[in-house]
Amino acid sequence: LWGTLSALWALDAGLALWTAAEWWVVVAVYLSVVNGGEDWRALLPLVGPLLVVELMIGASQMAIGSTLTSGILLRWGKDFRVGDPGASYLLNDVGQPLLRAYGTTEHPNHLAAFAGVLALILLGVWLAGPKSQAGRWRAGGGLVLSVMLLGTTFSRGGWIAFSLAAAYVLICGLREGRGRVVAAVGLMIATASLFFFGFGPWIAQRIAPSEAAWVEIKSLQDRALVAEGAWELFRAKPALGVGLGNYMQGAVEHLSGQVKAPVHNTMAMALSELGLMGGVLVVGLYARVIWLAWRARADLAAAVGVALALGLLVANAFDLYAWGLAPGRLFLGLLCGFCASDSAGVDSKST
């Protein structure tokens, strides 16, 4: 509602109204699942084949240094190759390049979100203890594949978000049995160790880049400039912001030397577009998810749903797709609806 009202003072009223309409679709998605009784986990049999396909495509992209494979499959108009403007790749300490895995998505960070979501769901399935041997193999194998796929994206935000959300799920899973938790931790550590053994030099530069990794250094410098620009934009219109969806219009009008690109932080984006009220709304969302996490701690299924929302919000401390991209907003609405639905289920259970 506040975003819709921002059209009254937005730099581009039409853009604000259009973006607000997209947010109302998110509200509709939320309401469509908040009281639904459908078991969305019925899609799990499709997870294994999807993971295998994405992992094979991502591995081939890293091997040849190009998104050619997904371009052929999806008829993309352009290949991203190592060194191309806009391509997301890494350099190790001797300057050897490595393309981050795109899979069938438009950016490695989007693939990281896909892999992280599946990894959390499969972690919950594993901790719940499938009764059949085949079920245990599917859950364990899917967990390994999804963690491996998350690794190939080299998404720092994805890694941090998944680690925190997985830690929460593991703590909640202790009620199901310590053995399952220990086994899950062992599977994930073994997978991460294998990945580090193969790509350690690039991982090290991703975490603490040296002068040889100039691509990484430039990326961090650009992000710092963009964050500085977001702060200047907020200072220019602190009370009301520049209007929902008007971040780039505000950057063009109010910023001079800073990089004119969307800031990769949900809080900064909300403050810039909606002013102080936007910050209050984002803080309220985070507080609500944390409260739901506390209430869902005794129910593993509800805990996994909350962990998905928690992971998405943590990842968007380093990215923008939950606020700035329509598919990300829809996903946020879907997860919040599931969280509320699972929370209602927890409340209805007898103690």
pTM here?
Answer: 0.79
Please give the helix or strand (H or E) that residue 63 lies within, else none: helix 47-64
pLDDT at position 244 is 86
Instruction: Give the dihedral of Cα atoms 289, 290, 292, 298; nearest 10 deg.
Output: 140
For residue range 200-258, what is the model confidence (pLDDT) as tens digits?
888 888 887 777 667 777 777 778 888 888 888 888 888 888 888 888 888 878 776 55
Q: Cα-Cα-Cα-Cα dihedral of 329, 335, 340, 341, to 10°?
A: 130
Tallying the residues shown for the chain, one arrives at 351
pLDDT in tens, 102-137: 887 778 888 888 888 888 888 888 888 777 777 778
SS3 assignment, position 335: helix
- Provide the terminal-to-terminal Cα distance of the chain, rounded to the nearest Å: 37
pLDDT given at position 149: 93
Spatial neighbors of 306 by CB under 8 A, at least 6 apart, are: 168, 289, 292, 293, 296, 339, 342, 343
